[in-house]
Amino acid sequence: MKLAATLAQRLHVALGMTMETHLFTGDVSRREFLQKLYEVNPDVVHIHGCWDRKIYDVEQWVTKRGFPVVLSLYGGMEDKVLRDRFWKKRLPRIIAYQFRTIRKATALHTFTENERDSMKQLGWKSRIAMIPIPEKEEDYQTACDAFHALYQKVIDTTSRNMLHNNERRWLWTLIQVAVTQQNATLYSDEADYDLKKLAAKASAELTSYNWRTLQIFAYDHGLTERLREGQKKANIIIPNLLQNVPPRFAHKELVKKRPDKKAERIMKEDEKAVKETTVAADIYRLKAILSRNRYDEGWQTPYCLLIEIYGILRWSDCDEGKICALLEKYSLTPFAGRIMEIIAELLDLPLGFMPLDPVDDKQTEHLKRRLDTAVW
């Protein structure tokens, strides 16, 4: 598409005045593209075009490696284009790759209201931004500002679902500091941080961009107070980068169903064993949220439930036999083993404090991904 190539080139030059940009053109191989992708390590990948199989291939290469994608459609999904030789030309491509191309993109960009309305009517993607084609030279600055805002919106939206390894390590280190009791005896796998050295280390390893991402993630997952507690205990100065929650694309809320009484039944199993019933009830709530995509409005966020389970198991005297019996009674044992693996990974819970052995399998990996995306 000549228009796509021309506009991509113009935007590359104009946006390059205020941010780092890189332009890929031509029929590059997968190896060459990935080599350049990892070399650049972009915050956002902007793909220009529609109905081309190569676009789908490039998007696959990018999204499988965790980079967010903005896809500009260039009028390719307007009604008149869709209806043009629909049965012989459009439908086969939709089935083969076009539907998945649109669904996989983090956000869509359209140039016209007609195309935006057409995409909304199709319902393939809800994250759509409309930025017109600049008609005059002086319009390019306005367009660049709009694209800059769109990129930041995509980055911030992605932040609630994904942290880089270094950011994730620091988030859970500070939360572990927050929930660790004073004068507690730490085991070797827990004592990998020295409070006196943490402040200097955090300053060296985390940029303002990292802190902003951390704060967005913590806000969305109900971890803000824990993050602040850990920061104060470790005497780390965190820049306050979120005066207001940034505008982002809406996430898919978990499906609300009628209140589930099972958690209440678990809590009433033994009114004298509050800690044990709380652990079992929290594990049940986690299973309902992560495995069955449902929750009651009064429930805590999944990560807050994980922290509560960790706190009881690590810092309280509880009867592990009673916990195991409750988990067995309510068919929670396999799921609980996977939760133990996740808590051990995030918060370094020693094996001696687990009521049952941790389980590391494909379902555990699926639960880890669901934890990041289960926000409301």
User: Cα-flanking dihedrals φ and ψ of residue 130, to 5°?
Assistant: -110, 115
Determine the Cα–Cα distance for residues 239 and 143; give it in Å rounded to an integer.
30
C-beta of residue 346 within 8 angstroms of C-beta of residue 339? no
Tokens of 272: 């004298």
Question: What are the pLDDT tens digits along the chain (376 aa)?
Answer: 677 788 888 888 888 787 888 888 877 788 888 888 888 888 899 999 888 898 999 999 998 888 889 999 888 888 888 888 888 888 998 899 999 999 989 899 998 888 888 888 888 888 898 988 887 777 778 888 888 888 888 887 776 667 777 888 888 988 988 888 766 555 555 555 566 677 777 778 888 878 888 888 888 888 989 998 988 888 887 777 666 666 767 665 666 666 778 888 998 888 888 999 999 999 999 998 888 777 777 788 899 999 999 999 998 888 999 999 999 999 999 999 999 999 999 998 888 899 999 999 999 998 988 888 775 5
* 182-235 pLDDT per residue, tens: 665 555 555 555 666 777 777 788 888 788 888 888 888 889 899 989 888 888
Determine the Cα–Cα distance for residues 309 and 275; give it in Å rounded to an integer.
9
In this structure, what DSSP letter does residue 164 have? -
What percentage of the chain exceeds 90 in pLDDT?
25
Positive/negative CA dihedral, 184, 190, 191, 195: negative
C-beta of residue 371 within 8 angstroms of C-beta of residue 363? no
Q: Does pTM top 0.85 for this prediction?
A: no
Determine the Cα–Cα distance for residues 161 and 368; give it in Å rounded to an integer.
11
Q: Burial code of 315-327, b = ≥16 C-beta within 10 A, e = fewer?
A: eeebeeebbbbbb
